[in-house]
Amino acid sequence: MTLDLSADPIALTAALVDIPSESLDEKVIADLVEQALREQTRGFEVVRHGNVVLARTNLGRPERVILAGHLDTVPIADNVPSRFERDAAGEQVLYGCGTVDMKSGDAVFLHLAATIADPVHDLTLIFYDGEEIAAVHNGLGHIERDLPQWLEGDLAILGEPSGGWIEAGCQGTLRARIGTAGVRAHSARSWKGDNAIHQLAPILARLADYRAREVDIDGCGYREGLSAVRIAGGVAGNVIPDAAELDVNFRFAPDRSVEQAIAHVREVFDGLEVDFEITDSAPGALPGLTAPAAKGLIDSVNSHGGGGIRAKYGWTDVSRFAARGIPAVNFGPGDPNLAHKRDEHCPTAQITAVTAMLRTYLTGA
């Protein structure tokens, strides 16, 4: 099998979807992407690092744009091979695992690399593995560690599904585990014990009363959220529990650092006698839309009547670039609300539209 990068990116998306590439099983698709880039593009230096495929031009352009997309998908759910259907309005839709997250974005990047002969920016393409699982497997993180020079640029565009909108930056995230301690006793003599589950009540009350902050950054509105996401406790049906715990997730605007976010969450629960442990955290990414390279992308999207600009509420790998001082945005076909679903699908018109908007940007047309 070979990939035809010059084919319509809709057909290329279908071809990529038909290559199973669940996380940790990306070798076949990485082999095909590498082969296609070596054989069907001109002026690109191509490098393979594990199951990450990298390619870049060195034309001496004043700016470098990074196009990055992950090759892996969540587990297939009887949704491969791909299939075309018509929606209620008669528009063509492509169904299949990865049509949204994010083989349509990969197809757009690959097609443009093969069909743009004279880009106005130097280009770096990164197709990486392990994005959908634990961070230790993330291929972009491996490049950050082993080949950091490949992450240098003036703007990074991740092909994350955004419905053709520029979704700028991303929110940060942290999880905290809050534990309570009591005294175990028989439930028939409950007054002899101290119920650790009951001690969670004031914690839950503060979460219920919490009012999320909203902040505008570069014209993008971010809304924070502090939520209970897991609760555990109990020994048996006739035992007063002596331990309970609650996991809390804080999604914070990118004007906060991780340290500031942790301090805020601690402040919310100040005065309560609880154990407090941070179990996971990742910084957000500022939009960076005032950078010259970003302005060109905005102009191109506007010239095609694209979706416009909005904040990215979820966490994505744009954070890795922002931490290096590189403006980064999410921009690709597909509704992010359909990612990972059994009926994952993407309107083919969005694939065509995103391809046209990026072609205008990369060629200066």
Structure tokens at 334: 């597909």
Residue 200 corresponds to which amino acid?
L
Whole-number Å distance between alpha carbons of 168 and 113: 23
Beta bridge partners of 183: 194
**In 3-state terms, what secondary structure has residue 363?**
helix
- Residue 270 known to be catalytic: no
Residue with tokens 């929110």: 171
Length of the chain: 365
Among 26, 72, 101, 132, the one annotated catalytic: 72
Question: Options 3.40.640.10, 3.60.10.10, 2.40.37.10, 3.30.70.360; which CATH number does 174-282 get?
Answer: 3.30.70.360
Contact (CB, 8 A) for 102 and 69: yes
The pLDDT of residue 63 is 96
Distances (CA, A) of 337 to 118, 226, 282, 329: 36, 20, 22, 18
Among 131, 154, 167, 245, the one annotated catalytic: 131
The pLDDT of residue 289 is 87
Domain boundaries, the chain: 9-170+285-363, 174-282
The pLDDT of residue 290 is 84
Bridge-based pairing state of the strands 122-128 and 64-70? parallel
The pLDDT of residue 352 is 98
- The CATH code that applies to domain 9-170+285-363 is 3.40.630.10
The pLDDT of residue 240 is 97
Among the listed residues 112, 97, 127, 108, the one whose alpha carbon sits nearest the alpha carbon of residue 33: 127
- Residue 72 known to be catalytic: yes
The pLDDT of residue 292 is 87
The pLDDT of residue 223 is 95
Q: What is the CA radius of gyration of the chain?
A: 23
Among the listed residues 110, 67, 119, 104, the one whose alpha carbon sits nearest the alpha carbon of residue 330: 67
Intrachain domains 9-170+285-363 and 174-282 with the same fold: no
Contact (CB, 8 A) for 119 and 31: no
pLDDT digits 0-9 by tens, 322-336: 889 999 999 999 999
- Give pLDDT < 70 ranges for the chain: none
CA angle at residue 348 from 345 to 349, to 5 degrees? 130
